[in-house]
Structure 1
Amino acid sequence: MTTHETRKTALIFGASRGLGLAMAAEYVSRGWCVTATVRGDRRTELNDLAGSSDGRLTVEKVDITVPEQIAALHARVAGTAFDLLFVNAAITNGDVQIGDVTTETFNRVMVTNALSPMRVVEAFQDVVPPAGTIGVMSSRQGSLTLNDRAGYEVYRAGKSALNQLMRSFAARHADDQRTMLLLCPGWVQTDLGGPAAPLTIGESVPGVVDTIEKHAGEGGLHFVDYQDQTVPW
């Protein structure tokens, strides 16, 4: 029988709503023990999920754009090992051409979508054991190869920067046994994806989790989508 002590564990950043919330719920439904984060003090659906999880979901508060909050959470979970560290964080400024984007908006998107997720990866890598997985939520829009339509240029740039930084992280840890993943969830009906997106959260997230599980213990860096199809750089 699986006990609390032998269950797999996940630390998921950015789980108050949308894809992150659905990932937390999916892992709980699969018997994992999950620690998931929200920003601020407002009660979210994640708190409701925690209340019905039989103690298998813990909610932590952190704004990953604030380095001091990252450090504080790291201190709270120090000594705990997680089979999966996953960072889900993204904002968009809408479909605005780069020449019309303010410096403030550019900085905000880049800090949220690229710098902050990598700060989390750098800070929390020590809680992931050699057989574990470190993943971040990327996007096909971060692919240079697939950009033949333009649009959402700062969002694209932020995801491309995230991909590059994750690739640098992997290069610096070339002998690391852990699996590293850039995950593309598809175009999903979320606040960011919009109602016209072809995928529901329920269609995307089980595939995201299945793909993470497929690569567990494999090692190396992989840029893949929710159907485990390789996404070109």
Structure 2
Amino acid sequence: MSVTSERRALVIGASRGLGLVLVEELALRGWGVVATARHGGGALRAAADASEGRLRIELLEMTSAEELAALRGRLDGHRLDLLFVNAAIDRGDLPIGQVPTEMFTEVMITNALSPLRALEALRDLVAPGGTVAVMSSEQGSVSRNTEGGYELYKASKAALNQLMRSYATRHGDDGHTKLLIDPGHNRTRLGGPDAPLDPRESVPAVVDVLEARAGSGGLRFLDRHGDPVPW
């Protein structure tokens, strides 16, 4: 990517679903985007080929500390206006007493630990006044957990939110805006075919929030309309 005055973003987890639509929307708005995926083909490759150079792909397994370090090395010298981590898995609707230890570990590593490891590994690429953001969910809101179901997924998103608060406390003087984003219940592989929202409609609203909050500082947990989500 050439050095220009364009806004620059790194999006972790962009091979499909919300992440794919996010990088497409950023590129459409003129951002220069680096998108990561475990594999470089498919819809993300097609989007990169159609982007006129605004979108390029880096391979990354986000749960690997070694691959994160290698990505950081490859991006040395880049300066980012936005670092966005989008990654989550769901392993079904089991009561917590029926969740195998291996499943609990897998979901917590992917949904909570690895996003914060990615922020820690890559945060020094973010320019002063830039934004670090993570895709969260209203399901991680403790105060709104008033209906049953999906206990492990909810716990992983609550853990993500808590870790992000700890991150914001430790890095409170870095000048970065820090955002947890709830995109709503979207029709993706994770959200299912019956979800009420179309990512092509909800993700542009998310980008509106990212752009509107740029430079505002602090930590906020917001929905796709820019309204606060209760912790």
- Does the residue aligned with 2:168 lie in a helix, a strand or coil? helix
2:74 aligned partner: 76
Q: CA deviation at 1:196?
A: 1.2
Matched, 1:15 2:14: yes
- Does the residue aligned with 1:217 lie in a helix, a strand or coil? coil
| CA distance in structure 1 between the aligned counterparts of 2:176 and 2:148, rounded to whole angstroms | 34
1:50 aligned partner: 48
Shift >4 Å, 4+ stretches: none
1:28 aligned partner: 27
Unaligned runs of 5+ in 2: none
Q: CA deviation at 1:4?
A: 6.2
Q: In the alignment, residue 159 of structure 1 is paired with which amino acid?
A: K
Are 1:136 and 1:182, in contact at CA under 8 Å, matched by a contact in 2? yes
Are 1:4 and 1:33, in contact at CA under 8 Å, matched by a contact in 2? no
| CA distance in structure 1 between the aligned counterparts of 2:53 and 2:174, rounded to whole angstroms | 32
Provide the aligned length of Structure 1 versus Structure 2: 230
Q: CA deviation at 1:169?
A: 0.4
Q: Return the match for 1:85 from 83, 86, 104.
A: 83
- Does the residue aligned with 2:122 lie in a helix, a strand or coil? helix
Identity %: 53
Q: TM-score, normalised by structure 2?
A: 0.98
Q: Return the match for 2:149 from 145, 148, 151.
A: 151
| CA distance in structure 2 between the aligned counterparts of 1:112 and 1:40, rounded to whole angstroms | 17
Q: In the alignment, residue 62 of structure 2 is paired with which amino acid?
A: I
- Does the residue aligned with 1:83 lie in a helix, a strand or coil? strand
Unaligned runs of 5+ in 1: none
Question: CA RMSD of the aligned region, Å?
Answer: 1.0
2:4 aligned partner: 5
| CA distance in structure 2 between the aligned counterparts of 1:171 and 1:212, rounded to whole angstroms | 21
Label 1:117 to 1:212 Cα distance change in 2 as closer, same or farther (>3 A): same
Q: CA deviation at 1:150?
A: 2.4
| CA distance in structure 1 between the aligned counterparts of 2:201 and 2:46, rounded to whole angstroms | 22
| CA distance in structure 1 between the aligned counterparts of 2:178 and 2:101, rounded to whole angstroms | 31
2:125 aligned partner: 127
Matched, 1:107 2:105: yes
1:229 aligned partner: 227
> 1:157-179: CA deviations, max 9, x gaps?
11000000000000111222110
| CA distance in structure 2 between the aligned counterparts of 1:150 and 1:112, rounded to whole angstroms | 23
Q: In the alignment, residue 188 of structure 2 is paired with which amino acid?
A: T
- Does the residue aligned with 1:130 lie in a helix, a strand or coil? strand
> 1:112-165: CA deviations, max 9, x gaps?
000000000000000001110000000000000000012101100110000000
1:63 aligned partner: 61
Q: CA deviation at 1:204?
A: 0.9
